[in-house]
Amino acid sequence: MKIHFLGTAAAEGFPNAFCRCETCLKARELGEKNIRTRSSTIIDDVIKFDYSPDSYMQALRDNIDFGMIEHLLVTHSHSDHYNAFDLECRRMGIAHGLQHPMHIYGNDAVMHHTRVAIGRFAGKRFAFHLLRPFETIAVGEILVTPLLADHDQMETCLLYVIEKDGKKLLYGHDSGWFPEATWEWLKEKNLDCAILDCTLGRTGNSRDRNHMGVETVLEVQRQFQKKNIVKKEAQIIVTHFSHNSGLLHEELEKIFESSGIVVAHDGLIFHI
């Protein structure tokens, strides 16, 4: 399974284009891995998690053919994760040579935004699928299970476990400390890889709400190992960083080096 990180920043981007804080100024100066666009990831070039406002630029930057995307799994409707109106670029008469519809999956709020933005183009170009937490669906040979996140109390935000080609991946953001129902479902799952939220930086709290910080990520790693949620050789990867954390890429790498956790950056390709 190929995991390609298109964007690794929180909602405001990193650096924030409007911000003159020390971290944003330093990120602009250093460039490279410190320049982060809004979060999204693509699996094997055909399964995409979220569709951020930066998706078009990311496709050009990394030379990705979005015409190949078959399935779009949306975690929640916040504007940094789902820019539904931009998908009109895939409709008939605008995009040519497409051989399959894009299947879009998500919660009630995501389906509402989808219907408003592109509902009139459903059919050959789009298919819409309302998901319920913990109800596994088969998509060809792929199994997809949405899990509950702890993120926005006004929306049923979702995390995803996908099973493909004998590998299991948890796409675990946006979320703070997982709800108990999610922890229970994950027991003994022996995942091959888990992607986690690390928005907050150092908070001193091992069970952050809504988003995770460094200490919560490390506590999640301990719980993963204790409950056999991940395999011994499994890789944990952190993403979705905010400039408000005050931590640049190299600083994050130093923090997580001893735990073996990988710090994602825009354009990172990881294979499991």
pLDDT at 218: 98
Averaged pLDDT for residues 196-201: 98
Can you give the residue range of the structural domain that contains 203?
A: 2-271
Structural domain tally of the chain?
A: 1
- Kindly report the CATH number assigned to the domain that includes residue 84: 3.60.15.10
Per-residue pLDDT of 14-54, as tens digits, reads 999 999 999 999 999 999 999 999 999 999 999 999 999 99
User: What pTM value is reported for the model?
Assistant: 0.97
Please report the pLDDT score of residue 56 as a whole number.
97
Give the amino acid at 34.
N
Distance CA 221, CA 147 (A): 18
Residue 190: is its pLDDT beyond 90? yes
Cα–Cα dist 260/224, whole Å: 14
pLDDT tier at 141, thresholds 50, 70, 90:
confident
C-beta separation of 241 from 259 below 8 A:
no
Q: What percent of the chain has pLDDT over 90?
A: 98
Question: For 90-233, where are the alpha helices, taking DSSP H only?
Answer: 108-118, 180-186, 214-226
pLDDT at 207 over 90: yes
Confidence at residue 140, expressed as pLDDT on a 0 to 100 scale? 80
Mean pLDDT of 198-203: 97
Which residue, chain included where needed, has tokens 């951020």? Answer: 52
Q: Are 51 and 80 in contact (CB under 8 A)?
A: no
Q: Tell me how far apart the terminal alpha carbons of the chain are, to the nearest angstrom.
A: 5
pLDDT of 146: 98
pLDDT in tens, 151-166: 999 999 999 999 999 9
Average pLDDT of the residues of the chain? 97
The average pLDDT across 186-190 equals: 97
Give the model's pLDDT for residue 124: 86
19-23, 122-126, 154-158, 249-253: least confident range: 122-126
Rounded Cα–Cα distance for residues 111 and 122 (Å): 12
Cis peptide before 174 (omega within 30 of 0): yes
pLDDT at 104 over 90: yes
